[in-house]
Amino acid sequence: MNINDIAGLAGVSRSTVSRFLNGGYVSSEKAELIGKVIEETGFVPSSRAQTLRTGKTHLVGVIIPKISSETISREVAGISDELRQAGYSCLLANTDNDAEVELSYLRVLNEKRVDGIILIGTLMTSSHLNAIRNHSVPVVVLGQRSDTQSCVFFDDYGAMHAVATELLKGASHPALIGVTEQDESVGLLRKQAFLDACEEAGIERDATTIVESGFDMLDGKEATMRLLDEHPRIDAIACATDTIAVGCMKALYDRGISVPDEIAVSGIGDSSLGEVMQPPLTTAHLHYDESGSEAARLLVSMMRNGHGPRRELKMGYRLVVRESTRS
C-alpha cells in the first residue's frame, strides 16, 4: 500500500493525498475521503519518504547529564510532553556528567539530522559554545544562562538566597556544601547567594565554611563527615541541591546529631525524597516540569519559524519551609 493506492481508493489525485499527509490545504470533502481510506487500510506513510520530501525528520535530540536524576526526569517529562503535542519525537542522550561525551553527542545529533537539540547544560565551556555555534539546526540550552544561545534557566541566586536566609535563623557558624564553580548556575551563583545571605545576617566570613562536593547523595554524606570532623562548631548546613542534602542528613543521623536542634539543613530542588525525610527538608521549589515545556516550546518555534534572535526565559522559584530548619 502506497500513496498512489490511497489516491485511487479515495478517488483523488496523488498530489491531494500528499498535501493531506503533509498538512497542506485539502477540501473538507476530500480530506474526509482520504481519512476514511487511511483508517480502513491502516496505511502508515513512510517516515523516510517524508524526510526526503521535506528535509525534516521530526526528531529532537535531548542531551541530559544524568538519567537517574529526579530533576532531569522532571525536565524531560516537560520536554517530551510538549514535543509530542507538536508532532516531534525525542532522542535522549545521557552523558553521565562527562563534558567530552556531551560534545560528542552535540556532533552526532547534528550529523543524524535531527530538527533541533535541547541541551540540559552543566558545564558551558568555550568548546560547547563553539560546537553549538557551528550547528545547522537550532539549539536551546536548559538550566544554564547563555549569552549566545536561546536558553531557559532558573533563578539560582534568588532561590539559594531565600533558602539560606531561612536556614541562618539562630545560626552563627554556617557551612555550604557546594559543587564545582564550573557549573555556573548550581556552583557559582548558589555559592554567591549563600555568602551574601550570611553577610546580610551579620555572620563574619571567617565563621563561614564552604566545601565542594559531587552531585550524588554519597558525595553529600562524605562532605558532611569532613565538615563535622574539621569544623565541630557548625550549626547550619546549606546544600547546593536536595540530593546532597539527603546525604548530609544521613551523615548527621549516623553521628546522632539532631536536625534542626543541633544543626539545621537546607537544600534546593523540592525533591520527593526531601519531602519524606525525617525531618522534612526546607528547600526551594524550582519549576522543572514547566522549564522543560518552555524549552520545548521555544525550540519548536525556532524549528518552524527559523532561528531568529536569541531568546531567554528565567524561571521563578518558591520557598518551601519545612522542619529541617529552625522557625
- pLDDT tens for 71-111 read 999 999 999 999 999 989 999 999 988 888 988 988 888 77
Q: Is residue 165 part of a domain?
A: yes
Query: Looking at the structure, do residues 179 and 255 belong to the same domain, yes or no?
Result: yes
Is 320 a member of any domain? no
Q: What is the pTM of this model?
A: 0.81
pLDDT of residue 62: 95
Domain shared by 177 and 269, yes or no? yes
Q: Are residues 172 and 269 in the same domain?
A: yes
Task: For Cα atoms 180, 182, 188, give the angle at the middle one, nearest 5 degrees.
Answer: 70
Q: Which residues of 72-88 are buried (b: 16+ CB within 10 A; e: fewer)?
A: bebbbebbbebbeebeb
Domain range enclosing 11: 3-54
178: pLDDT strictly greater than 80: yes
* Residue 322 resides in a domain: no
Check whether residue 272 and residue 164 sit in a common domain. yes
Number of domains in the chain: 3
In a domain, 324, yes or no: no
Same domain, yes or no: 197 and 301: no
Q: Kindly state the average pLDDT of the residues 123-152.
A: 86
Q: Is the pLDDT of residue 170 over 70?
A: yes
**Are residue 281 and residue 294 in the same domain, yes or no?**
no
pLDDT-derived band at 124 (thresholds 50, 70, 90) equals confident
Residues 149 and 292 in one domain: yes
Q: Look at residue 321 and tell me if it is in a domain.
A: no
Residues 224 and 239 reside in one and the same domain: yes
Residue predicted with more confidence, 165 or 32: 165
Q: Give the C-alpha separation, 241 to 220, whole Å.
A: 9
With respect to residue 270, please indicate whether it lies within any of the assigned structural domains.
yes
Answer yes or no: do 32 and 119 share one domain.
no
Q: Report pLDDT for 52.
A: 44
Same domain for 137 and 42: no
User: Exposed (0-12), middle (13-18) or buried (19+): which is 211, by Cβ within 10 Å?
Assistant: middle
Residue-level pLDDT at 235: 97
* Sign, Cα dihedral of 169, 170, 173, 179: negative
The residue type of 289 is: D
pLDDT number for residue 215: 92
CATH (domain of 171): 3.40.50.2300
pLDDT for the residue 56: 67
The tens digit of pLDDT for each residue in 256-297 reads: 999 999 999 999 999 999 999 999 999 999 999 999 999 999
Question: What is the reported pLDDT for 31?
Answer: 85
Specify if 141 maps to a domain: yes
Same domain, 167 and 272: yes
Asked if residue 323 belongs to a domain, the reply is no
